[in-house]
Amino acid sequence: MNWAAKGSISITLPVLLSVSLAGCVTANFTEPVTSFRDSVNKSGAVVSTYYTELNQFEREVYLDDALYSAKQIGTTDAGGQPTPLAGKALSPESIKARTDAIALLGAFAQRLGELAGSEAPKQFSEGASALGENLFSLNKTFEKLGQDSATQKAVDKTAKDYAGPIGAIVGALGKMYLENRRDAALQEAINNGAPPVRAVLSLLQQDLATSIEPLQETGLKQELAERVNAYNTSLTAQPLPSFDQRRAALNDVGAAAARYDAAITANPADLIQNMRQAFEALLTYANSSRAPTDLAQLVTALQTFKNNVDEVATQVNRLLLLRKGQKT
């Protein structure tokens, strides 16, 4: 081994170390962005359900009231206003505006995911390995010029040993350069997206908290109260309802109570709040020094978001099944 080669080893080791560390941090940024994207997409599907199901839900509450109160029904009430039977509690344009806003959040998260998962650095690394092989061939060519056979043999041996590492270093440096560019692009995308994302999240959260949730909770409580009152009123009748009739009525009360409980548990406004917190954590991390503690905080926020999405999605599905009269 010649001294020039030894010198090369001492220089490349720190470079390799810093390259590998930079690679680890950037790779860790990819996973959180992907997790955020997946949770946003799942949230979007859950929240959209509330809007698209609203008119049908109000129709059900209206007909339920007619059943228990023995009322006439119509698409226009006595005051000239459309009833929920007409299915216009929320206009199609209003529903579309809200589902479009949700889709916009999903598109933003999707783009972040695509940027974070870009294959360009990997392709560069593979190309750089081929470059390493070419360097070895070039080195061998040089060795044929004016060297005695003994020296030539020694140089040939060491040159072969270095072709692989040379290629790896070139590849790693190139990968680090491209990943840093990708990292910078991600940071820019997240920062630029922050104002509109925050605006959309605020609007959705307020809308869900002031419109959707109140209607759902009061509607399901009304159905419960109807059934409770109907049962209690029936106990004043002569003759008393039969044992089977009372059991059927009480089963109905129990089912209505379960639907109400499911609605209380599934809180879509809180889901948007979790999405907001996860996005702010992503924003904080993007602008941080990317220390392990920064990453740990981000991972915690994203896990909380994911857990909440999974829980709300389960409750929403359960509520939909209960409304159809199916057991869960």
Partner 1 sequence: MKVDSATLTQIIDKCFDLSMNLQLQLPDRQNFLALGKRLRGSLLNLISAQFNAGTPQVINANNQIATVSGQVAAVAQNLQNIAQTAQSLATLASTLDGLLTIAASFV
Tell me the C-alpha to C-alpha distance, in Å, between residue 59 and each of 82, 134, 197, 271. 11, 73, 33, 26
202 vs 233, beta carbon nearer partner 1: 233
Which CB sits closer to partner 1, 210 or 300? 210
With CB under 8 A as the contact rule, which of the stretches 22-30, 156-164, 227-235, 267-275 interacts with partner 1? 227-235
User: Closest distance between partner 1 and the C-beta of residue 283, in Å?
Assistant: 29
Nearer to partner 1, 233 or 251 (CB): 233
Span interacting with partner 1, options 123-131, 161-169, 225-233, 315-323, rule CB under 8 A: 225-233
> How far apart, in Å, are the Cα atoms of 103 and each of 42, 159, 188, 191?
11, 56, 21, 19
Tell me the window of 3-11, 76-84, 114-122, 299-307 that interacts with partner 1 (CB under 8 A): 76-84
Judged by CB under 8 A, the residue of 53, 179, 226, 252 near partner 1 is 226
- Residue among 76, 137, 151, 229 that touches partner 1 (CB under 8 A): 229
76 is a contact residue toward partner 1 (CB under 8 A)? no
Site for partner 1 in 234-263 (CB under 8 A): 236
- Segment interacting with partner 1, rule: CB under 8 A, options 105-113, 117-125, 209-217, 278-286: 209-217
∠ CA 244-247-253, nearest 5°, is 145
53 binds partner 1 (CB under 8 A): no
**179 forms part of the interface with partner 1 (CB under 8 A):** no
The residue range among 77-85, 112-120, 130-138, 267-275 that interacts with partner 1, by the rule CB under 8 A, is 77-85
Residue 158, Cβ density class (10 Å: 0-12 exposed, 13-18 middle, ≥19 buried): middle
Q: Which stretch binds partner 1 (CB under 8 A): 3-11, 177-185, 188-196, 211-219?
A: 211-219
Q: Which is nearer to partner 1, 77 or 294 (CB)?
A: 77
Please pick, from the candidates 33, 89, 266, 322, the single residue that binds partner 1 as defined by CB under 8 A: 89
Q: Does 205 bind partner 1 (CB under 8 A)?
A: no
214 binds partner 1 (CB under 8 A): yes
| CB count in 10 Å sphere of residue 74 | 12
Select from 101, 169, 178, 224 the one that contacts partner 1 (CB under 8 A). 224
Cβ-based nearer residue to partner 1, 98 or 323: 98
Name the minimum Å distance from CB 22 to partner 1: 49
Cα 113 off chain centre by:
10
Rounded (5°) CA angle 144-149-150: 125
- The residues that touch partner 1, with contacts defined as CB under 8 A, are 58, 65, 79, 81, 84, 89-91, 94, 210-211, 214-215, 217-219, 221-222, 224-226, 228-229, 232-233, 236
